[in-house]
Structure 1
């Protein structure tokens, strides 16, 4: 390890880490960032805190707490934050892009391959196995989030209410998230006014020493400049697409849709997938229900944030509805999705990071976030049910009773092969804690066997 790599956290924040060395480390993180946000955060902790000692434990946790408050992929934003601490905006840009681009390139290539070869028997078998295994992956995520979030009867009530709202009543995801946040904040304020001080945990219990580089200090001028710059990068292309292609063009619609997702994806990728699936499949008709499962399976096997599955969604929409040659349409759709999903992430970090100290111990904000996390459990439960029905049954109907709409699978269309793969993957992940990539690979191989026999 180099001398710079052994420098103290304070020294590293002051820029003593060579920029080239930081690029190499963040590139390695980006290429190895499999396994979802928990594994990705652990990987960054090992490289940045344990091995290189570029950040100390308190600074890393402080940055993580802030990123958990933001919409969007928290692991990608944590990488951006860490790069920003070390080398300002250029460091944050490099760290964030290196975390996203390897997986983005792979997902785009896989989307094109799917468009060109998805009807081949062996490819169908691979995707069949992947889709069945994804059901177990979502169930595992639901269990993990539930254990962390549902600490009281109130939180359980919020989760059930969110499930009913999105699964039965069709309430939009952003409305559920906003309602949960308002409920959590108001509940905290009511308890504080009627009883002892709220026991809601502070966002960080660690004492964080002030950091020294000029770019880390709050500055109204810098805040305004940064905000205007990134808002322009976000909205000017959106306006340009609307003017040049028209409001109904698929790329314009995708830009607006994924911009909304970038602003409301509290709770991580699993929380927003149910809403994206509903809108992309039923409203915009960019893809079929089973293809949403295919995209998630592909995203689980590639590095980078799981929310890169949105590139598969946008790519299929572009391929099918843009009027362009399918390969070109898929690549353009994936690029539009990538831009409008991740540009806002840089805005949140570069504009907000210097002010994180002012929100670190705001208890009503912590209470609002806890309520959102509880509601996310209900949303993920809806995603698990939605996936299960479309994996295990080949034919789906719907029962509508006024405002209530319920799925009705045709029992005769039950798929025992999908059930066997899903159960086996669930046992491997939940009982034996097997490696995710290995489970997905074996499930895909099993899918090929089922299709060919």
Structure 2
């Protein structure tokens, strides 16, 4: 389960990796768009630990896997530099700070349900992050959209998601199929980032390494569930929480945004773990704290167990529910990355696959653009409604609900970034 050595632009030691990803985990606000942008700036532009093409290729692959793509990208970067230990360091540090904050806020919410000062603090941070997300979108677009075809594909992906609400897998897989076909007839349209096939790694295919990773991480994933089944039985709320979020971890293609509606509906209407208003509060907390947005699942798991605590106290049950939810949500992410990572060197040298990934890169710029607009609308406006007109489906803000204070913070941050170059 060790990773490649000497494949980075510069090779940091583990202590440096720990320090940098600890910092990234604490400031990774802004959802996947902001988190990907932050890693790109820190690791590609400033420290040059990963070269541009490798970063984009890995991002493409992570978008095809279930789970939070930014956390999986962090895990892959760590694996690429220091093998399994590096992957665990980067992947865990990307999640743990936000998970600890979210768990603490869940406890406060359960006992007090009054988090206005904390929410105000994080809302100000989120407003400033909005400017960083926009800067990141511009930077990534400039690098990734290096042909007219890619720019057109990115715009088409943005419209498909923002205006027509098409399924995320359909958009990205459709883009990949277009690139796969064009790689043979019009490769100049794609400017793929792949490497020469003559440089392909020699030696046996890494099937043994992949199968070993799958076996180990399935056992890690299942261990707490087996303990709950033996100790509490299949009717206990902790078992139901573990099963529900394990299933969710397998179908979260496209990140948290693609599955939040389903999760909210099931948790509120079917499981009755919390109310619709509480679900909205949890989503607001997850959006305004660092780490993946999918950490909202921890809030749901905490409240679900907190309100059906037997044979534990409410606090102990809530802590177990929150920790179990985090475990079954993120253990699969390590399974996917550690299973796929050994194949990356070979995948980088398959020309038609690289054509597919080049087209997918362009579509991902459209995806990030859609997330950026979604994030901006929900930060700047307090109210809105879903509008449907024929095939068009979008969230339209109530313009009278613009929060001028948040807009002012975002504008100030934008001036510092784009004008003062801070």
Partner of 2:125: 130
Distance 1:376 1:209 in 2: 26
SS of 1:200 mapped into structure 2: coil
Q: Which residue number in structure 2 is paired with residue 173 of structure 1? A: 168
Could you tell me how far apart the structure 1 residues matched to 2:110 and 2:417 are? 30
In the alignment, what sits opposite 2:357? Answer: 369
The match for 2:248 among 253, 257, 271 is: 257
- Report the counterpart of residue 234 of structure 2 in structure 1: 244
Q: Kindly indicate whether the alpha-carbon contact (under 8 Å) linking 1:185 and 1:367 is maintained by their aligned counterparts in 2.
A: yes
Query: Does the aligned pair in 2 maintain the 1:130–1:294 contact within 8 Å?
Result: no
Give 3-state SS (helix, strand or coil) of 1:171's partner. coil
Gaps of 5+ in 1: 1-8, 11-16, 51-56, 266-271, 300-305, 435-453
* TM-score, structure 2 normalization: 0.71
- Asked whether the 8 Å contact 1:227–1:347 carries over to 2, the reply is yes
Give the conservation status (yes or no) of the 8 Å contact 2:37–2:137.
no
1:75 corresponding residue in structure 2: 74
| C-alpha spacing 1:318/1:106, structure 2 compared with 1 (3 Å) | same
Q: Which whole-Å CA distance do the structure 2 matches of 1:155 and 1:62 have between them?
A: 15
| Corresponding residue of 2:65 | none
Of 376, 380, 386, the residue aligned with 1:392 is 380
- Counterpart residue number, 2:19: 28
Match of 1:244, SS? coil
Q: Distance in 1 between matches of 2:124 and 2:284?
A: 11
User: Does the CA contact (< 8 Å) of 1:200 and 1:366 recur in 2?
Assistant: no
Indicate the residue corresponding to 1:412 in structure 2. Answer: 400
Shift, 1:79, TM fit: 0.8
Correspondence for 1:226 among 193, 207, 213: 213
- Report the CA distance shift for 1:414/1:329 in structure 2 as closer, same or farther (over 3 A): farther
Distance 1:207 1:97, change over 3 A: farther
Cα distance change on mapping 1:203 and 1:351 into 2, 3 Å: same
How has the CA–CA distance of structure 1 residues 295 and 260 changed in structure 2, closer, same or farther, with 3 Å as cutoff? same
In the TM superposition, residue 179 of structure 1 has moved relative to its aligned partner by 1.6
Contact residue 217 and residue 354 of structure 1 kept, 8 A: no
CA contact (8 A) 1:250 1:318 kept: yes
* 1:297 paired residue among 279, 288, 295: 288
- The CA RMSD measured in Å over matched residues stands at 4.3
- After superposition, the Cα gap between the structure-2 partners of 1:428 and 1:289, relative to the gap in structure 1 and judged at 3 Å, is farther
Alpha carbons of structure 1 residues 400 and 103: separation in structure 2 relative to 1, 3 Å: closer
Secondary structure of the 1:406 match is strand
1:318 CA displacement: 1.8
- Go from structure 1 to structure 2 and tell me whether the alpha carbon gap of 1:330 and 1:246 turns closer, same or farther (over 3 Å shift): closer
Cα distance change on mapping 1:346 and 1:283 into 2, 3 Å: closer
Task: State the alpha-carbon separation in 1 of the partners of residues 110 and 152 from structure 2.
Answer: 43
TM-score (norm 1): 0.67
User: What displacement does 1:188 show?
Assistant: 1.4
Q: Distance in 2 between matches of 1:120 and 1:352?
A: 41
Unaligned runs of at least 5 residues, structure 2: 29-34, 63-68, 269-275
Query: Alignment partner for residue 186 of structure 1, among 181, 205, 210?
Result: 181
What's 2:114 paired with?
119
State the distance in 2 between where 1:94 and 1:23 align. Answer: 8
Which residue in 2 is equivalent to 1:3? none
Residue 300 of structure 2 corresponds to which residue in structure 1? 317
The alpha-carbon distance between structure 1 residues 209 and 400, as it changes in their structure 2 partners (threshold 3 A), is closer
In the alignment, the residues of structure 1 paired with residue 362 and residue 189 of structure 2 have an alpha-carbon distance, to the nearest angstrom, of: 18
Q: Deviations over 1:20-40 (max 9, x none)?
A: x96645543442335645655
Equivalent in the alignment of 1:443: none
How far did 1:276 drift?
A: 4.5
Deviation, 1:368, is 1.6
In the alignment, which of 140, 163, 168 is matched to residue 158 of structure 2? 163
Query: 2: distance between equivalents of 1:246 and 1:185?
Result: 48
- For this pair of structures, how many residues does the alignment match? 381
